[in-house]
Amino acid sequence: MAFNRKKKTFEGDTVQLENVSVGYGEVPPIISGVSLNLPQKSFHFLTGPSGTGKTSLLSLLYLANLPMAGSVKLFGEDVMDASRSRLAALRRRVGVVFQDFRLLDHLSVFDNVALPLRIARVPEDVVMQDVKELLNWVGLGEHMENKPAVLSGGQKQRVAIARAVVNRPKLILADEPTGNVDDKIAVRLMALFIELHKLGSSVIVATHNESLVARFPFPRLHLENGVLTPRPAAGQAG
Amino acid sequence: MARSDLPFRKDNAGRFVQWLVMVLVFLSAIAATVNAYTDALLTHWSRSVVGTMTVQVPPAAEGRSSSDAARDAEKVLAALKLHPAVASAKAIPREKIVTLLEPWLGSGAAITDLPLPALIDVQLRPDSTNSAASVADLVVKAVPAALVDDHRVWLSRMTDLAGGIGKIALGLVGLIAASLAFTVIFATRASLTEFMQTIEVLHLVGARDDYIAGQFARRALTEGIVGGVLGLVLFAPTLAAVVWLAKQVQAGVLPQVELPPLHWFVLALLPFLAGLLAMFTAHFTVRRALRAMV
């Protein structure tokens, strides 16, 4: 793929969590005392039963929330000290596939995918080229001008993934990205994440699809009862 | 028009702002025009009275005959003609004075028998309008009972009136601007609520506050300008109608005066001023609201 724009480089780990707790108000924290270092160019599955805080942990990493305790560093930068515009800049280096896609219904598929590039003020001719190429790659070349409403669940998911990766983020977070597609497409989408990983991005794929986890040789982070436990890779190369 | 990520076309709050700006610009145009007309009227009147004076020589009092009064008037006239600042000094004929009084006192024998003062109309030279005081001194020296009116009191009252109208107009425009700002704030908040999901997505894919606020600001600018132009379109026939009605009124009561080009320029600017105000208000409102997000 022709994504060769220069990105800011940094030393150290992509993600550094230290003793992080996430919670809302008086109820016990959803995540408590999690510490985690994800090196650059790593690939992890995030597993665990539903409702154990996988989405909360991810939302911390895409900076939708700040922790109630502990420290979060992204690309070596402490997010607790970052200004609003720095936080926005950090978000632009993170690509997120939301579980509910969060596509903008009033925009075409093309404009949805182009959004991160336009926000990053990428020249329009580059936007045209990159978005078209990526949409063709995920098999949606025929649907560029359609609105998301007319797409199937699986197609929407691919649009969401295309939007997450179009700006070549250094950290890709995917929340159940293969939940709505058949196995063949799931493998194809995983191949896209793996390619971006090989090109230098760190990837976290949250899933409870055990067969998917078993298929790929990546370590997993298991979240249960608010506690995160690293587990070695179980899968075979696929 | 610039591309927008927000579905503003579906949004009614914006159309409301446009409609309100139309009404507010219409009202501002009226306030500004009333103010400009008052100013122009004042200039018109002061131009016609500056450099003129009216001398009253009182009528014959007890122990004096009317020929004494006539002699006094002659004395004043003679003195005035010698003063270098005086361009002309003419006695106003008694018949004309009677005519001037007719509307109040009626015509007939009663009025012609009244002891009327002699009136002298004095024109000063254009370059010596400041010599009014020395001319008045001269008149009083010649005939101590004579009264000199250089219209300054009247003019200063008219200036006060015009100043008062100007302040009221300014206050109105201030109120109008405040209403516009508050409306934009509430309309923007309504749009923010309506588009919250879209805004969250923009925020999470890394849009800066400026990027999101800028889209609202551009929309507000467009609505302000369009609404403002509509307001002026509404104002034009209103002004034409008022001018036509004024022409039907007896001439002299409302003199025809030219409004200065600056006034028309300010009116033409109103839609842009409304647009800019709406733009900055929307930008500010959105930025404040976004601070609620991490």
Whether A109 is covered by a domain: the verdict is: yes
Residues in chain B closer than 8 A to A89 (CB atoms): 206
pLDDT value, residue B19: 93
Question: Scanning every residue of chain B, which has its alpha carbon at the shortest distance from the alpha carbon of A104?
Answer: B198
Whether A208 is covered by a domain: the verdict is: no
Whether A116 is covered by a domain: the verdict is: yes
Whether A142 is covered by a domain: the verdict is: yes
CB B294 within 8 A of CB A74: no
Check CB contact of A96 with chain B, cutoff 8 Å.
yes
CA-closest candidate to residue A54, choices A203, A224, A211, A180: A224
How many domains does the structure of chain A reveal?
A: 1
pLDDT-wise least confident of A3-17, A145-159, B112-126? A3-17
Q: Do A96 and B5 touch (CB under 8 A)?
A: no
CA distance A84 to chain B (A): 8
CA-closest candidate to residue A167, choices A198, A130, A195, A129: A130
pLDDT value, residue A238: 40
Whether A107 is covered by a domain: the verdict is: yes
Structure tokens at B104: 């109040």
Alpha helices in chain A (DSSP H): 54-61, 84-91, 109-119, 124-137, 153-165, 183-198, 210-215
Structure tokens at B10: 């579906």
Whether A238 is covered by a domain: the verdict is: no
Q: Do A91 and B7 touch (CB under 8 A)?
A: no
The answer to whether the complex's ipTM is over 0.85 is: yes
Q: Do B7 and A92 touch (CB under 8 A)?
A: no
Distance CA B157, CA B139 (A): 25
pLDDT value, residue B250: 62
CA-closest candidate to residue B119, choices B143, B97, B145: B97
CA-closest candidate to residue A198, choices A42, A39, A10: A42
Mean pLDDT for the stretch of residues A72-98: 92
Q: Do B5 and A116 touch (CB under 8 A)?
A: no
Residues in chain A closer than 8 A to B198 (CB atoms): 104, 106
Sheet holding A77-78, edge to edge: A31-38, A15-22, A69-74, A77-78
Distance CA B288, CA B285 (A): 5
- B positions 186-225 inside 8 Å of A (CB): 197-198, 200-209, 211
Residues in chain B closer than 8 A to A96 (CB atoms): 204-205
Give the highest mean pLDDT range of A12-16, A30-34, A180-184, A202-206: A202-206
- CATH 3.30.70.100 residue ranges in chain B? 51-150
In terms of residue numbers, what domain contains A118? 102-168
pLDDT value, residue B56: 87
Q: Which of B3, B208, B294 sits opposite A64 (nearest CB)?
A: B294
Q: Which of A65, A85, A115 sits opposite B205 (nearest CB)?
A: A115
pLDDT value, residue A1: 46
User: Given a cut of 60, is residue A75 above it in pLDDT?
Assistant: yes
pLDDT means per 10 residues, chain B with 294 residues, are 73 84 95 90 80 82 70 86 85 82 73 78 78 82 84 82 90 94 93 91 93 94 95 95 82 73 94 96 95 88
CB B87 within 8 A of CB B109: no
Instruction: Quick: pLDDT tens for A102-129.
Output: 999 999 999 999 999 999 999 999 999 9
User: Given a cut of 70, is residue A26 above it in pLDDT?
Assistant: no
CA distance B187 to chain A (A): 21
SS3 letters for A117-159? HHHCCCCHHHHHHHHHHHHHHCCCHHHCCCCHHHCCHHHHHHH
User: Given a cut of 80, is residue A234 above it in pLDDT?
Assistant: no
How many whole angstroms from its chain centre is CA A231?
20
Q: Which CATH class for the B51-150 domain? A: alpha beta
Categorize the per-residue pLDDT at A29 as very low, low, confident or very high, splitting at 50, 70 and 90: confident
CA-closest candidate to residue B292, choices B217, B189, B182: B189
Q: Are strands A15-22 and A69-74 parallel, antiparallel or unpaired?
A: antiparallel
Categorize the per-residue pLDDT at A74 as very low, low, confident or very high, splitting at 50, 70 and 90: very high
Residues pairing with B91 in the sheet: B120
Distance CA B24, CA B179 (A): 8
pLDDT value, residue B93: 85
CA–CA distances in Å: residue B136 to residues A72, B57, B70, B133, B156: 89, 13, 19, 5, 19
pLDDT value, residue B12: 75
Distance CA A115, CA A120 (A): 8
Q: Do B5 and A104 touch (CB under 8 A)?
A: yes
Q: Do A92 and B198 touch (CB under 8 A)?
A: no
Q: Which of B7, B205, B291 sits opposite A116 (nearest CB)?
A: B205
